[in-house]
Amino acid sequence: MATYTAPVDDIAFLLTRVFDFDATMAGLPGFEEVNAELAVSVLEEAGKFAAGVLEPLNRPGDEEGCTLENGLVTTPKGVAEAYRAFAEAGWCSLSGDPEYGGQGLPRVLQILLDEMLSSANLSFGLFPGLTRGAVEAIGHHAGAELKATYLPKMISGEWTGAMALTEASAGTDLGLLSTRAVPNGDGSFAITGTKIFISSGDQDFGGNVIHLVLARLPDAPKGVKGISLFLAPKFLVNADGSLGGRNGMSVGALEHKMGIHAQPTCVMNYDGATGWLVGEPGRGLNAMFTMMNAERLFVGIQGLGIAEAANQKAVAYARERLQGHGADGTPGPVAIINHPDVRKMLLCGRAFADAARALAVWTALQMDIADRHPDEAVRREADALVALLTPVVKAAFTDFGFETAVASQQVLGGHGYIREWGMEQYVRDARIAQIYEGTNGVQAMDLVTRKLGLEGGKLPQRFFGLIKADLDAALPSAGAALVTPMAEALARLEGATARLAANGGAIEAGAAATDYLRLFALVAFGWMWVRMAAAAAGHAATPVEQRKAALARFFMERMLPQTVGLDAALAYGAPSLMALHADAF
Ligand SMILES: Cc1cc2nc3c(=O)[nH]c(=O)nc-3n(C[C@H](O)[C@H](O)[C@H](O)COP(=O)(O)OP(=O)(O)OC[C@H]3O[C@@H](n4cnc5c(N)ncnc54)[C@H](O)[C@@H]3O)c2cc1C
């Protein structure tokens, strides 16, 4: 069975033909030397590491799982060595701040590396993914001393990071959390409480594990305003930067899970653990949001990564598996890739993955612009677009990613249900991405209740304006057969957005949220398909370009029409959702 191949040809197409990567980089101070050629050569190497080192550990890691004995976590055979090799090769520091030893490369490269990690080994990818999120929160909100002590070793990958929010009674509603932090009188705090579901809560790679913990100070008000953020390391750090004694925290248990078995998801006990405040007291959730936003994009990319890997495997299988006569009368047995229904499953996955990768690159470019553009107004505008797209990337990529994993499993028939082929692992591993980092329902609420209102409610119009301008520009090359259905779908999205603005109210927003987010995502994917088809038009030189025209048409004809149904459902509003009394369910 074919193994994973990093989609470097598609990446090269995106960076050189769809987005003018070189010109964007040339306008960003510090990135003048970065260009598509460099990006592709770096990502080619990343692809080799993902396929050659990480993917071979994926199934054994799933079968072996993590263990906890005498308080020590052990990851599956080979994971610790692979992590150290990954860090030594410089992959942990790719986009890290050069002030603290990072390589300072753009987000675009980071997001594409993250996709490859997620395709090859989702459990493994969480270690560097969470560390990077913690680095961002510390970098934005911690004082100089904490930054100097922790950032260099986290960026290099010598130390890993974890994010400790969830408690048994505080999941989505973090305002309910009860972990306490009491001042020690020397600038540090004693943290006491139990957190559950903490990914990468511990590891056996060596070095330190840096926990960012949400807790309440004494006399803090109830609710989210009473939450502060603390940095608590597994090992206290000596003045010279070396590791000191164990801090007052321990792994109480490992969660038994449906998937990501090679990832230690920990119950963490903090028993007077020494920690330091990150950011201002009472503003912990704000500081943690820096980490959570980074993680939400990362989790969205996990959905894309799984979809890419599952689709590749399903295509390879469908080319070889012989069953039945051809629908065109070809005597059988024929390869199942010839059956229209099998083709539909494969095309849905590919049309999603290609569009999602393009949208991920577009979003990462906005992040790079938001970080570095010399004009503050441009930076602000780009930042708002990233905020708008964050819940869409997180929820839509993971929903379509899971759907792609299931459809790819279906392509293998009974063999998809059997362990040996690896498909059932993709399904199990993909499922968590729809749940953690804020469930997809909560992402949809974020989109409709917060993000649509940014810039005084004008942000969505600004985004839709970008799409319209691209549709107009693409008409001559992409053609009316692609542009017209997209313009109609965009009009549906604009109508649904206007209805939401007019019929506001929490119940209508909650009732609309997930359907609206899917409608939004389909339009954004269609936008990317028009751009890709326009870029490929007249250049059928490579297999990538040949694929683009066929997939763009498939997307417009067989996926985008979902927007009609979503729009119709949205138009009915909340009443039918709220009619049944809770006792009568
Ligand atoms: C494997 C795994 C790894 C994890 N890793 C981490 C980690 O590293 N760090 C960490 O802190 N946490 C982590 N989590 C926790 C995860 O983020 C939470 O499970 C998730 O945010 C949902 O919280 P909950 O489980 O309490 O569900 P609940 O909040 O109880 O939600 C249950 C359902 O109700 C819905 N719901 C809840 N509130 C609302 C609302 N206001 N409006 C509409 N719908 C609502 C939800 O969408 C969901 O469908 C992890 C969880 C798992 C399973």
Asked if 393 and 297 count as a contact pair (C-beta separation under 8 A), the reply is yes
Q: What is the pLDDT along the chain (585 residues), one digit of tens a residue?
A: 658 999 999 999 999 999 999 999 999 999 999 999 999 999 999 999 999 999 999 999 999 999 999 999 999 999 999 999 999 999 999 999 999 999 999 999 999 999 999 999 999 999 999 999 999 999 999 999 999 999 999 999 999 999 999 999 999 999 999 999 999 999 999 999 999 999 999 999 999 999 999 999 999 999 999 999 999 999 999 999 999 999 999 999 999 999 999 999 999 999 999 999 999 999 999 888 888 888 899 999 999 999 999 999 999 999 999 999 999 999 989 999 999 999 999 999 999 999 999 999 999 999 999 999 999 999 999 999 999 999 999 999 999 999 999 999 999 999 999 999 999 999 999 999 999 999 999 999 999 999 999 999 999 999 999 999 999 999 999 999 999 999 999 999 999 999 999 987 899 999 999 999 999 999 999 999 999 999 999 776 788 888 999 999 999 999 999 999 999 999 999 999 999 999 999
| Whether the Cβ atoms of residue 311 and residue 350 lie closer than 8 Å to each other | yes
In this structure, is residue 504 part of a structural domain?
Answer: yes
Report the nearest atom of ligand 1 relative to the CA of 200.
8
The per-residue pLDDT for range 289-334, each reduced to its tens digit, is 888 888 899 999 999 999 999 999 999 999 999 999 999 999 989 9
Residue 434: inside a domain, yes or no?
A: no
- What Cα–Cα distance (Å) separates residue 73 from each residue in 69, 199, 207, 212, 233? 7, 12, 14, 19, 16
Residues 126 and 164 in one domain: no
Range of the domain at 33: 8-141
Q: Are 188 and 62 found together in one domain? A: no
SS3 of 19-50: CCHHHHHHCCCCCCCCCHHHHHHHHHHHHHHH
CA of 174 to the centre of ligand 1 (A): 10
- Judge whether 304 lies within some domain: no
CA–CA distance from 547 to each of 234, 542, 553, 554 (Å)? 49, 9, 10, 11
Map tokens 């990446």 to a residue.
11
Please provide the DSSP assignment of 319-369 as one string.
Answer: HH-B-S--TTS--S--BGGGSHHHHHHHHHHHHHHHHHHHHHHHHHHHHHH
Nearest residue to 523 via CA among 459, 471, 481: 471
The answer to the question of residue 437 being in a domain is no
Out of 442, 508, 515, 517, give the residue to mutate to test ligand 1, the one with the largest number of ligand atoms within 8 Å of its CB.
Answer: 442
Q: At what angle do helices 376-411 and 459-478 cross, to 10 degrees?
A: 60
Domain end call among 284, 313, 339: 284
Ligand 1: residue of 167, 439, 440 to mutate (most ligand atoms within 8 A of CB) is 439
Cα–Cα distances in angstroms (integers) from residue 165 to residues 177, 219, 371, 573, in the given order: 8, 20, 27, 34
pTM: 0.97
Give dist(CA 524, CA 470) in Å, integer. 12
Q: How many residues does the chain have?
A: 585
- Residue 293 has what pLDDT? 85
CATH code of 105's domain: 1.10.540.10
Ligand 1 pocket test: pick from 126, 131, 172, 299 the residue with the most ligand atoms within 8 Å of its Cβ: 172
Same domain, 46 and 111: yes
Distance CA 43, CA 108 (A): 11
Residues 206 and 83 in one domain: no
Ligand 1 close to Cβ of residue 175 (< 6 A): no
> Is residue 536 situated within a structural domain?
yes
* Residues 183 and 251 placed together within one structural domain of the fold: yes
Q: How many structural domains are present in the chain?
A: 3
Q: Which residue's alpha carbon is at the smallest distance from atom 37 of ligand 1?
A: 172
- Contact 436 CB / ligand 1 (< 6 Å): yes
1-31: pLDDT as tens digits: 658 999 999 999 999 999 999 999 999 999 9
58 lines ligand 1 (CB under 6 A): no
Using alpha carbons, select from 227, 200, 197, 203 the residue that is nearest to residue 129: 200
CA of 166 to the centre of ligand 1 (A): 8
Task: Return the CATH number at 187.
Answer: 2.40.110.20
Q: Which two tokens stand for residue 388?
A: 């708008």
Q: Does residue 158 have an active-site annotation?
A: no
DSSP character at residue 88:
H
Residue 390 lies in a domain: no
Are residues 535 and 567 both part of a single domain?
yes
Is 552 inside any structural domain? yes
Q: Are residues 190 and 136 in the same domain?
A: no
What Cα–Cα distance (Å) separates residue 479 from each residue in 474, 486, 521, 531?
Answer: 7, 11, 22, 11
- Provide the pLDDT for residue 237: 98
* 18, 125: one domain: yes
For residue 197, the CA-to-ligand 1 centroid distance in Å is 9
134 in the same domain as 23: yes
Name the residue at shortest CA distance from atom 30 of ligand 1.
Answer: 171
- Rounded Cα distance between 153 and 148, Å, is 9
Q: Which of 437, 455, 545, 557 is catalytic?
A: 437
Of 256, 284, 312, the position where a domain reaches its end is 284
Tokens of 105: 């490369």
Q: Verify that 116 and 165 share a domain, yes or no.
A: no
According to the model, what pLDDT value does residue 292 have?
84
Q: Which of 91, 111, 141 is at the close of a domain?
A: 141
Separation of CA 373 and ligand 1 centre (Å): 35
- Does one domain contain both 538 and 482? yes
For the chain, count helices (H), then strands (E). 19, 11
Q: Which residue is it, tokens 């939450």?
A: 227
Greatest CA separation for the chain: 83
State the number of CA atoms in the 13 A half-sphere of 213 facing the CB. Answer: 36
Tokens of residue 60, six digits: 């054994």
3-state secondary structure of 151: helix
In a domain, 102, yes or no: yes
Instruction: Provide the token pair at 180.
Output: 């306490």
Same structural domain, 474 and 524: yes
CA 306 – CA 312 distance, rounded (Å): 10
- For ligand 1, the distance from its centroid to the CA atom of residue 171, given in whole angstroms, is 5
Distance of alpha carbon 513 from alpha carbon 497, whole angstroms: 11
